[in-house]
Amino acid sequence: MSQKLDPQKLDPMLDMSCRVCGERTVERFLDLGVQPHCNRLSLPGSAADSEPRYPLRAGFCHNCSLVQIDHTIPKERMFSEYPYVSGTTRTLIEHFRNSADRLVSAYGLGPDSLVVDIGSNDGSWLAQYRPHGVRVLGVEAASNVAEIAVAAGVPTLNRFFNAETAELIRREHGAVALITAAGVFFHLEELHSVVDGIGRLIGDDGVFVVQAIYLGGMIENLAFDQIYHEHLCYYTLRSLEELLGRHGLAVFDVHILPIHGGSIEAHVARIGTRAVQPAVGALRAEEAAKGLGRIETYRAFADHVWQQRTRLLGVLEDYRRRGLTVYAYGAPAKGATLLNSFGIDRRLVAKAVEKNRMKVGLVMPGSQIPIVGEETERPDAYLLLAWNFLSEFLAKEAAYLESGGAFIVPIPRVEIIGRDALGKAS
Ligand SMILES: [Zn+2]
């Protein structure tokens, strides 16, 4: 288990070159100890001490303002088989449908247009273009989920997206109208090759739309659990612009979306090909006003994370002392960060109840909490690891909460939501 490290005793500069600008100016502000890969679920009984563990540290680049982790687990180890399927959450499917509808109408996409989705997972997003008759192509490195997409009728290349893959697509299809990337842009080990490939593939007329967890939202929500080995980079508009600008690309429009507790959606084209919308300047100004370009903001964030740990452990210890059971509600990757960073194990949370059958029967990494199916008996309270879907779960579990059950919400504030709070919490 990780413990709180004394920042005074450590060199704050990380031994790395910034992933965007290449300078050795990355200062550590949050050290979550050594942790196993968050999606590496193992069989029960396989010894916890045989799990490979890697440092999980977040740093801020004083030169280009990118927030990033320093340790890279090779992508082949993380993404060749993947237990996460986008299509399991209703909120996410609705989000994909809305996004597809918006993009089709904004860019006048039709049967002659091709949409390429990077990290297309099970094809949940691309499938939403079907009613519009738009041609689609997914690029997905994990063979198990790529197969699910193909079986569902979404053409998918089973490989990593990089400059070489872009060239391959361009030779076969020509320039594409729209490239999208949702929830993958922070994963990319070959960041510059990917962005270079995107630039070539969209040509002068195409658009790249990237959705990524927004660092500004993470800071506001105290969502440190989004920090895990798969997420190498955490973007603000400014750091995203620093990256894109190096490859002749520019953000011409931007939105903040509620999905995943706050995501940035940037619309990108080759520099000079599109009129820049006022939202871009407005968000730049807002980020400056909130101090997102200053290390002090991130140091304060880290202090709040450790205060949160004290509060959450207090609540869980209290349940344990009273002989009440607590199960985790869901076993998402970010839940592993939360549990392992705070030192929460089976003593405090006996089981994790999960809808995704690919995870049932395995144990969570590090904490070794067993993952069970939804048919499992009800506990006295659930620790809500997927806190970003709170309103969906409140609606789904209204009867459980009415009958005296409770949700322990860890983020953004530690809260216990039970029968009494039902009306006001949603
Ligand atoms: Zn940098």
Residue 67 CA to ligand 1 centre (angstroms): 8
Q: Are residues 339 and 419 in the same domain?
A: yes
* pLDDT value at residue 9: 59
pLDDT digits over 126-159, tens only? 999 999 999 999 999 989 999 999 999 999 999 9
Residue 283 CA to ligand 1 centre (angstroms): 20
- Residues near ion ligand 1 (CB < 5 Å) are 18, 20-21, 61, 63-64, 66
Residue 211 CA to ligand 1 centre (angstroms): 21
Residue 68 CA to ligand 1 centre (angstroms): 9
Helix locations, 291-332, DSSP H: 295-321
Q: Are residues 212 and 354 in the same domain?
A: no
Asked whether residue 301 is domain-assigned, the answer is no
Last-in-domain residue among 227, 257, 292? 292
Instruction: For residue 328, give the CATH number of its domain.
Output: 3.40.50.720
Amino acid at 333: A
Q: CB–CB of 211/182 below 8 Å?
A: yes
Q: Are residues 128 and 263 in the same domain?
A: yes
Residue 66 CA to ligand 1 centre (angstroms): 6
Q: Are residues 208 and 324 in the same domain?
A: no
Asked whether residue 36 is domain-assigned, the answer is no
**3-state DSSP call for residue 281?**
helix
pLDDT digits over 175-233, tens only? 899 999 987 766 666 889 999 999 999 989 999 999 999 999 999 999 999 998 988 99
Q: Among 5-14, 77-86, 189-198, 256-265, which is the least confidently predicted range?
A: 77-86
Q: Are residues 92 and 223 in the same domain?
A: yes
Residue 389 pLDDT class (50, 70, 90 cuts) = confident
* pLDDT value at residue 426: 38
Question: Considering Cα of 335, then 142, then 216, then 257, what sign does the dihedral take?
Answer: negative
Asked whether residue 78 is domain-assigned, the answer is no
Q: Are residues 100 and 217 in the same domain?
A: yes
Overall number of domains in the chain: 2
Strand spans (E) along 273-400: 326-329, 352-353, 371-372, 381-384
Q: Are residues 124 and 257 in the same domain?
A: yes
**How many other CB atoms are there within 10 angstroms of residue 151's CB atom?**
11
Q: Are residues 272 and 373 in the same domain?
A: no
pLDDT surpasses 90 at 417: yes
Residue 25 CA to ligand 1 centre (angstroms): 7
Q: Are residues 286 and 326 in the same domain?
A: no
Give me the helix-helix angle, 191-202 and 237-245, nearest 10°: 70
Residue 5 CA to ligand 1 centre (angstroms): 25
Residue 145 CA to ligand 1 centre (angstroms): 33
pLDDT digits over 250-278, tens only? 999 999 998 777 899 999 999 999 999 99
* pLDDT value at residue 317: 98
Asked whether residue 79 is domain-assigned, the answer is no
Residue 101 CA to ligand 1 centre (angstroms): 35
Q: Are residues 206 and 133 in the same domain?
A: yes
Asked whether residue 123 is domain-assigned, the answer is yes
Q: How far is CA 146 from CA 77, 100, 153, 188, in A?
A: 17, 20, 11, 18
Q: Are residues 263 and 346 in the same domain?
A: no
Percentage of the chain exceeding pLDDT 70: 91
* pLDDT value at residue 253: 98
Q: Are residues 116 and 259 in the same domain?
A: yes
Asked whether residue 220 is domain-assigned, the answer is yes
pLDDT surpasses 70 at 79: no
Q: What is the pTM of this model?
A: 0.88
pLDDT surpasses 70 at 4: no
Residue-number span of the structural domain to which 357 is assigned:
313-425
Residue 160 CA to ligand 1 centre (angstroms): 24
Residue 360 C-beta-side C-alpha neighbours within 13 Å: 11
